[in-house]
Amino acid sequence: MGILNFFKKDSFNMDTLEGIEKIKISKYPPIKGLESPIKNIEYILQRKATEHKKNGRMDLAIACLKKSNELMPHSNFQYQASDYMRYIKYLRQNGQEDIADSEENRLHQEHPELFDKRIGNRKRIIESIEKCKQYHTDLIYIKTNGKCPLCKKYNNKIFSISGKSKKYPQLPKEFLTEGGFDKDCFVGVSIKL
């Protein structure tokens, strides 16, 4: 019997409020390559919320999304603001404006990086600069949103971190201090050997 339990998958009751509330934080292995989170419980809860909404069970749909939001920060997948905001959208559709406002404020406080991509950009830029030091290079490659008028002039360009290169311009200080120019723009960074 023990060996059968070893191979038995966790089962979750997503059709009752009590069952949804009992779902615990899962530990996942890192995602490799082009894998997706479709087997992750927080993702499954998002899909189940859609099903409950279609069946007129907004209480269960909202509970699924609330639990999904609790689990997403612990996932091996990086979710976007729109994934988290779905819970707030459902609350508003269900006439729960006060709770929606409170949850939205909490989300902005706990996860500001979801609403300002410069926070994550700055972290990646600093990590890349540390790698540059390890590889004894001063050059960094920047990829930005090619459509944003503020960011597109830096897209697919090589910059010198120190400004000492005769061939490449110095990395604009806004990348180091702010993580970029626009809160809605992702900045990709890699070292140039």
Residues 88 and 156 in one domain: no
Instruction: Give the end of a domain, one of 67, 84, 114.
Output: 114
Rounded CA separation 28/39 (Å): 10
Query: Could you give the 3-state DSSP secondary structure of residue 41?
Result: helix
Residues 98 and 140 in one domain: no
- As for how many domains the chain has, the answer is 2
Nearest Cα to 175, choosing from 146, 104, 29, 158? Answer: 158
Residue 137 banded pLDDT, cuts 50, 70, 90: very high
pLDDT digits (tens, 9 = 90+) for 105-135: 999 999 999 999 999 999 999 999 999 999 9
Residues 54 and 139 in one domain: no
The strand pair at 139-143 and 188-192 is best described as: antiparallel
Instruction: Give the end of a domain, one of 65, 95, 114.
Output: 114
Helix 58-71 vs helix 41-54: crossing angle, to nearest 10: 160
For residue 154, what are the domain limits? 118-192
Residues 47 and 67 in one domain: yes
The proportion of the chain whose per-residue pLDDT surpasses 70, expressed as a percent, equals: 95
- On whether the CB atoms of residues 67 and 52 are closer than 8 A, the answer is no
Residues 109 and 125 in one domain: no
Instruction: Give the end of a domain, one of 69, 90, 114.
Output: 114
Q: In this structure, what token pair is assigned to residue 105?
A: 């404020």
> Which helix (H) or strand (E) covers residue 140, if one does?
strand 139-143
Residues 102 and 128 in one domain: no
Residue 72 banded pLDDT, cuts 50, 70, 90: very high
Candidate from 13-17, 34-38, 139-143, 161-165 with smallest mean pLDDT: 34-38
Query: Could you give the 3-state DSSP secondary structure of residue 161?
Result: coil
Residues 159 and 133 in one domain: yes
Residues 15 and 84 in one domain: yes
Residues 93 and 55 in one domain: yes
> What pTM did the predictor assign?
0.73
| Cβ-defined contacts of 80-84 (< 8 Å, 24+) | 80/114, 81/114, 81/115, 83/46, 84/111, 84/114
Residues 10 and 102 in one domain: yes
Rounded CA separation 125/113 (Å): 15
Residues 122 and 98 in one domain: no
Residues 10 and 94 in one domain: yes
